[in-house]
Structure 1
């Protein structure tokens, strides 16, 4: 364990153990895995990161570095965009080191903080998985030894924290806000009413809460403050410490329940967390016998007495802090208290204290003014000389609209004047108002009316006893004061005027400003100048969302559906008015893409096909289409067109949708391109000469989708010879020779190819064929000569008959018929002989 003192002077406790996450040169290591810091301080959380300079021959560059504690839909939320840390975090990065600096620490900042960096490499993003655990805590006084007396307790006290503190630290001890001693512990006698607190030496601004020193055997509840003032809309912490004996009547004591309450019902104390009036506005922060009630967004109706109760396993071991803490939600109502020292005429001084009638939180800052100019910033203001021309007042920083009355130089000046307003009661905007000032003074006083202007010079209004505002406006609301002055001195008195009026046009704002990420917390605020205070109604489009006096609408985990146009209405009994529109644009990583193909149904080769990818994303996504693992198209449209699709385009397609907040891949889309059979290819097995008596296999194949059916045909045959891709002929003969046609057919068409099959003969068949060939060679010429001779004779006879016909009267000539018939008979006989 070591102690680091940051530049701001705050203690940070570190467990210095280095954690390394390393894989092939990628790693993130943290200087510490556990850090303990005090509320209100500043803490630095450090890490170093490394990465390979090149991956797959591509240089590596870092694109983004950030710290996070939350994730939303798989996306890490940069802490700088979280409204809970707005204005309190810095990212200090360089030379492969990165420091997260968180200022003004809150107990709610206790969390595990992780660092992440991204690069240009496809898988080049890394998160330091272990993270750094930050614990934000307070100091508290621990009673280690105690002896109970009549009016005093003897006790040994130590300064403790929920984190283990280094042994060498020294402490400063306080009793009733006065510094008492220094040392690691404090031993002595303490009055029953004594309140003790402690702080680390050198860090006195961060004290523990003060506590009553009680006996160790007491059952007790003590409150740090019994009266607290707070302002409307702010957050207040009400603290208590409770004690109980570790053993009672032989039974070890354990605490069952701790809670705060303001109401009782039938003798039962109602836990404030269950009260609808406080819904979402209260937290119980308890540990180490200390319990804090935190109330946020305070209302005037929260003014009440708050009490703490704890219950134990002991039969009578339930205890309520009877006094309670009175909370006043009001204006500060400051006064200036004066303390003077005149014991030594050569060294006189005046101490001014800015005081409220109820206790204000210790952490408040004050501003002192002399003649309305800032001159100091502490609760106490010391004057070496109080000059007659000086006038002092104080205010709480951030609440300057509620200053104290002005303190003037003390003398025999006129008595403080009395001031009045006419008419009394409610002052309406536009009415006429008269302010009157009078004072008991001799000689008579001169009067001057002023209006308080905050940091600026007060506005001088009139030098008459009366000042008239003829048509009062809302801007006239505020503090007016009158001075009464004669030669003996001056005194003053003030009066506040509140002008009632209808709401002015509301102003609307969104926090955080800038980009709004899905899952983040977003607050819409509407404010309008109105008197009495306006009530507000938030609308989305024309739908009412929230109505109330605060004008704040919170979306704790905003979604894409919350995008839209919002507006606010401000109203009181004098009128109502709507704000201008406020557009919320919720940004988010792409949702899972949907993919489609057009036209749907069967996809035919040669047709035009469009693949469409769409994803809900803000800002709009870019899309990348892939076939298997090969990128096809990248762009904002998400549309991939195939103007004339082919069988080679069949396969599995997917789409990736991405924007700066993330990326996601669609489900797979299978394209099945269908087409008619291509011209088949045919083959003969065995190849070479085919002999009679052998077995032959014919095979046909064709590229087709869906798969083709096959049919075999032999030339000059009407019916199919066979069906199927393979056709086998066993014991082949010469008659099997010839042309065969294979036809491939599916639902989209058909195609065919022809194959010529030649069958060779055996030896006996060859001899017979030789004899036949010889006879043909010898006999054919003889037959041809005989035929030719007979044909010539027939031609000659026909010629003679034709000549005779020309010479004889053909009509009624029987001789012609006989000759013609004889010639035909002879011709027929010759033809029969030839055959």
Structure 2
């Protein structure tokens, strides 16, 4: 099978071919045709299915030749002073419709664009024509009058020669009175300083010792260039002068193309370990009747002298060819692909946002075609680009991963090792969370977690309201038994060598049962009946507590809410009060707080006190009167007692006790409790002031207990009674008892 090569990839056609395809019709356009373009051309169609191709069995044969122009003299008018001729530019080829022409006189461009041209001439003048756009293919210079005139005819319009070889470029010129002649290159006319003054190649340093001018016979000049180089490819012109004439150089000369042999792959079959291929030793000159020499790994293959060579080629094999006898000018080396090598620039750490270039290199001839791949999460390779370099102008974190490349040419395909691209970057904004994520109760275990995407991995620091709590590579902060004091705002900082960043704030709300409540009373001074009393219950709790008020010895709650107000406080409101604080975590009760009214108790106590005082005064007066009477009697005969003895006897025989007790606590007793005083007198039957007055029982007792419930007071002696008892022994005929309530 013939290996068809895309013309756009062939160096000889670079910039000269164009594909014009539309509506299932495809045209190949080749510009600047040369004789070497003569060949058979075929069309091949590739489908989107692998290995499905269609190619024409027969192609189009192109033969490239010059227009084969000739100048013909149609008629002449000869005069003694001057002559006139009508010329025609004739071609034996089929020319484009209505072409334009260029006319030359003695090698110099003159006006005229039609295929016929009328001119004045001398006998020594010569004329030439060319198609416009094809000036490199003019007709030979033609003498209008006879065969002797001023003209230069080049033996070859173009010559192809191998690098390192020698070439002869020849021309014919005619003039009997030539004074000077030389060969030159138009672009090297005194190194381009004066184009009108071309430089003789024999004096050009680039051709020193490599150029000879040969005159084999008169009117023929040959330029011989030896040891040809690539830079010798150019157009060469001949110029001569006479005493009255100078040959112009508007007409083209001979174009020399220096070429080298090349090894071309005709067919190839790639196997896992080697490639089987058919090679051809070729050049743009395509010389005939020559023998070839093949070299493999710098060793000559004796058996092969044809331009074609078939063999198995392994990675690293080197192949070249040369013309027999010119082995020193062999073709460039052809070698199978070596395994590609991948390089990364810059070679140090890769920072996010920087420019990074991956380069795939494989020593190969023909040059390799490259493809870059990146491995995805499923270990599959995805093609990225078919360039030798993979460029990231601003590399991102997502570009991190494993890459490799393949190199492929006519001799096979090879894959590089994987290379890892690790993009470094400063920490991304951290995310924070608490576990458990639901409500946090006091005493539970809580973990705060901080995580941040960073490369290299970040270190973490936990803060509570700017107070450092924890620092380390782990982003977790543990509290084994959290308390209400741990409530607050937390945040973390993530940091690596490329930067640092703080997280958003995390509020930790610790829930706890109410603390023991405290009760306050307003007003805090003595409470008068009818006034307004406010009880306030306070307890630290999260969530906030709900409050309930209780009165001692009552089953049902008195009120709910943190504040309990009694607008018209009366005696029945006195008692011990407590509050209960409760939320969904738990509850706590306060201690009892005793509250009594002072208005009613004070008035009653004052009345009782007044009654007791009056009783004492009356008793004192009574006793004083009796004392005086007794004194009179004792002064009588038979009564030996003195006044002093009488008084002592009186106070021994008469005793009284007044007991009064009031305290702030008693003043707060309920106003309805009974307060009373009792005074009792007793006399002997005989003289009340006699010496045998019975000793009185004297006692006083006051008791008050506002905290005692009424049920207890009814079962025993009234403990809230304020009373006084005075007993005095009287005579049988005299007794008195007085009670004050």
Higher strand share: 1
TM-score between both structures, scaled by the size of structure 1: 0.37
Q: Which has the larger radius of gyration?
A: 2
TM-score between both structures, scaled by the size of structure 2: 0.41
Higher relative contact order (CA 8 A, sep 6+): 2
